[in-house]
A and B are shown apart, each in its own frame.
Chain A
């Protein structure tokens, strides 16, 4: 049953990713079609998650692949909030291909099917996994905004004559939004990590590579915020955000097997 919703979600996310490429070349119909792709894909994925939750006895995203499925949903939900506003649509150029790719990875790992009963409590999983994923979704959007910032800055530096025909959000807007979104995301990550470490200490479990990488990620994003408060802005801030996002990718894709095992 859950599989029935996976394919439409992937199809629409893929269509949206292609649509945004078309929109970057010729703004107009392709952009509108892409936005509809995001909306319909999001609805299909929401239905997929609802089916997973209804079928499973408890929190159904306790595997790394399952949590990746939920992570994609958080990212697309957050994008949908901003993406429906015209100047931010181009953010989809970075967000939607990533969402489609991660959904495929999630399916390959069995994350889009029916879940298996977890040996963790539901409350712990909801708080720990949920908060960490929300934070990572926020950082993903910050990275998207930073990429868009670098693209827009490059257009301004190249004195691109088409710059006013394809308007993007201003540098100041992207810079400010990225900072605010990171500032909202870091507390969620802090709390998610705190709950996880608390449980680790209680059970006397050992620290694995994922926990260490997540803590490094936290440190990088905390440094990002501290440096932003101290005046870091513009291109350097954008590069730092992208570096922080690389760690998010590593944490989400490269290391989870050890942690979830």
Chain B
């Protein structure tokens, strides 16, 4: 049984190509059913079809036909390479932002909406396990990867738990909204959304009651100056996030005791640094993923020799039982415990004799010689008829 992967991702195709093969869960399920034993992973960054089939060429042809709209941008992987790819995807190592956590849920959903058999079921379970392991054993997903998430993480560095933290929003720019959303999901509340035309007195009055100010107006002038902040905040510690260009907040605010002002460049520098941290963690993650993929490969390869091992064991057991039957006239005189000892002894001899060949065949299977060994065993023990 072969594993076939055909797909495209943000590495190979721009969004206008990817959107042509983007599938919702129902469409992904329908395609999987049509392909037989298959799982379709479709996210905003990738569409990939995983198929388990005896005829790999035919499976690949069907998958390419299903994604024909983006054929020039398709990649095709098989067996070991296909498995390693999925493990890397699940761990977030193939994502636009290394270590992003959303992909793990998307892989789980794809598995649930697919039509996996033994091979694909095991592949996806192991990939999810590898993804979780990377997240628990490395810090790849811990640091923020966007300006808005960095703003929220900074607020936590100042105020700790943001539950009950109060935010003053100035302007309704998209990045500002994202920052506010990030802060809200951590428990903070927006007490006022103002704009550059809001009465300055009202704006200043709010400074005495808020902890975080997020500003993103398109005003050409400074919206809050240092003097206004110092006069109105009544000694409160303030984190001010200025996402506007040109800047809304007077840079001199940062010089005030207890005030921390970060503009868009400061936040971007933090994001660049945290992404660099993610990349160094990615090296550790790659090692974990490679080890997990290797385990899967060994299991997959052992499938080739399992029938030969099963035949060999059945053959040996048959011989053992036949010999015991032949000896029945003698064994019949033994009591129950003596008879049980003989049964156990013969079973142990068979098991010990077959243990090493079994292990060696599985090892050979992992090294791609499994089929040759399996054929040799069948030939040596006369198992051809049982194939």
Residue B187 lies at the interface, judged by CB distance under 8 Å to chain A: no
Chain A residues with CB under 8 Å of B159's CB are 170-172
**For window 138-177 of chain A, which residues contact chain B by CB distance below 8 Å?**
152, 156-157, 159, 161-165, 167-173
Alpha-carbon distance A152/B156, docked complex (angstroms): 12
Q: B329 at interface (Cβ–Cβ under 8 A)?
A: no
Is residue B143 contacting chain A, with contact meaning CB distance below 8 A? yes
B273 lies within 8 A of A165 (CB): yes
In angstroms, how far is the closest chain A Cβ from the Cβ of B74?
Answer: 37
> Contact mask A166-201 → B, CB, 8 Å, 1/0?
011111110000000000000000000000000000
B274 contacts A159, C-beta separation under 8 Å: no
Measuring CB to CB, which residues of chain A are less than 8 angstroms from any residue of chain B? 152, 156-157, 159, 161-165, 167-173, 231, 233-235
State in angstroms the CA–CA spacing of A193 and B282 once bound together: 56
CB pair A167–B157 under 8 Å, yes or no, is yes
Comparing B20-28, B84-92, B253-261, the segment that makes contact with chain A is B253-261
User: Cβ of A167: which chain B residues have Cβ within 8 Å of it?
Assistant: 157
Q: What residues of chain B lie closer than 8 Å to A165, measured between beta carbons?
A: 143, 273-274, 277
Report the separation of the CA atoms of residues A157 and B266 in the bound assembly, to the nearest whole angstrom.
11
Inter-chain pairs besides A161-B272, A171-B159, 10 sampled, C-beta below 8 Å? A156-B260, A161-B269, A164-B150, A164-B270, A165-B277, A167-B157, A170-B160, A171-B157, A172-B159, A234-B258
1/0 contact trace for B257-290 toward A, CB 8 Å? 1101010001001101110010000000000000
Residue B153 at the chain A interface, CB threshold 8 Å = yes
Q: Is the CB of B143 within 8 A of A173?
A: no
Some 11 contacts from A to B, beta carbons below 8 A apart, are A156-B154, A157-B260, A159-B269, A161-B266, A161-B272, A163-B270, A165-B277, A171-B157, A171-B158, A172-B160, A235-B257
Residue from B150, B158, B235, B257 in contact with A156 in the complex, judged by beta carbons closer than 8 Å: B158
How far, in angstroms, from A90 to B106 measured CA to CA in the complex?
A: 37
Taking the closest CB of chain B, its distance from the CB of A201, in whole angstroms, is 44
Chain A residue with the shortest CB-CB distance to B143? A164
The residue of chain B having its C-beta at the shortest distance from the C-beta of A162 within the complex is B273
Binary per-residue interface labels of chain B (223-244) against chain A in the complex, 1 for a CB within 8 Å, 0 otherwise: 0000000000001010000000
Nearest CB in chain A to that of B258: its residue: A234
A234 to B262, CA, bound (A): 19
Contact of A171 among B235, B237, B262, B270 (CB under 8 A): B237
Instruction: Please measure, in the bound complex, the distance between the C-alpha atom of A72 and the C-alpha atom of B269, giving whole angstroms.
Output: 42
Q: A157-B260, A159-B266 are in contact. Are A152 and B157 (CB under 8 A)?
A: yes
Q: Which residues of A contact B157 (CB under 8 A)?
A: 152, 156, 163-164, 167-168, 170-171
When C-beta atoms are compared, the residue in chain B nearest to A27 turns out to be B139
Q: Which residue of B lies closest to A171 (CB)?
A: B158
The answer for the CA separation of A168 and B156 in the assembled complex, in Å, is 10
Distance, CA A21 to CA B61, complexed state (A): 58
Q: Give Cα A165 to B281, complex, Å.
A: 11
Question: Which residues of A sit under 8 angstroms from B150, Cβ to Cβ?
Answer: 164
The 7 closest A-B pairs by CB, nearest first: A170-B160, A161-B273, A173-B160, A161-B269, A165-B277, A172-B160, A159-B266
Give CA–CA (A235, B254) in the complex, Å. 15
**Could you say which of B154, B235, B237, B260 contacts A164, with CB atoms under 8 Å apart?**
B154
Question: With A and B bound together, what is the CA distance between A153 and B193 in angstroms?
Answer: 28
Given the complex, which residues of B lie within 8 Å of A168, measured CB to CB? 157
With contacts A170-B160, A171-B158, A172-B160 taken as known, whether A161 is within 8 angstroms of B260 at the C-beta atoms is no
A85 to B150, CA, bound (A): 23
Q: Which of these, B156, B160, B237, B262, contacts A159 with CB under 8 Å?
A: B262
Assembly CA distance A187 to B274 (angstroms): 44
Q: Mark B119-145, 1 if CB is under 8 A from A, else 0.
A: 000000000000000000000000110
Cα separation A163 to B158 with both chains bound (whole Å)? 11
Complex: A227 Cα to B335 Cα, angstroms? 92
| Chain B, residue nearest A236 (CB) | B257
Query: Contacts of B266 on A, CB cut-off 8 Å?
Result: 159, 161
In the complex, the answer to whether B156 meets A170 with C-beta atoms within 8 Å is yes
Q: Which of B178-227 contact A (CB under 8 A)?
A: none
| Minimum distance in angstroms from B314 CB to a CB of chain A | 51
Which of A161, A163, A234 is within 8 Å of B237, CB to CB?
Answer: A234
Contact yes or no, B258 A170, CB < 8 A? no
* A235–B237 alpha-carbon span in the complex (Å): 11
A159 to B196, CA, bound (A): 26
Known A157-B260, A159-B262, A234-B237; contact A164-B158, beta-carbon cutoff 8 A: no
* Most chain A beta-carbon contacts within 10 A, residue among B150, B160, B273: B160
Q: Which residues of A contact B154 (CB under 8 A)?
A: 156, 163-164
Give, as a whole number of angstroms, the nearest-CB distance from B98 to chain A. 14
Kindly report which residue of chain B lies nearest to residue A159, judged by CB atoms.
B266
B153 touches A169 (CB 8 A): no
CA distance A214 to B269 in the complex (A): 48
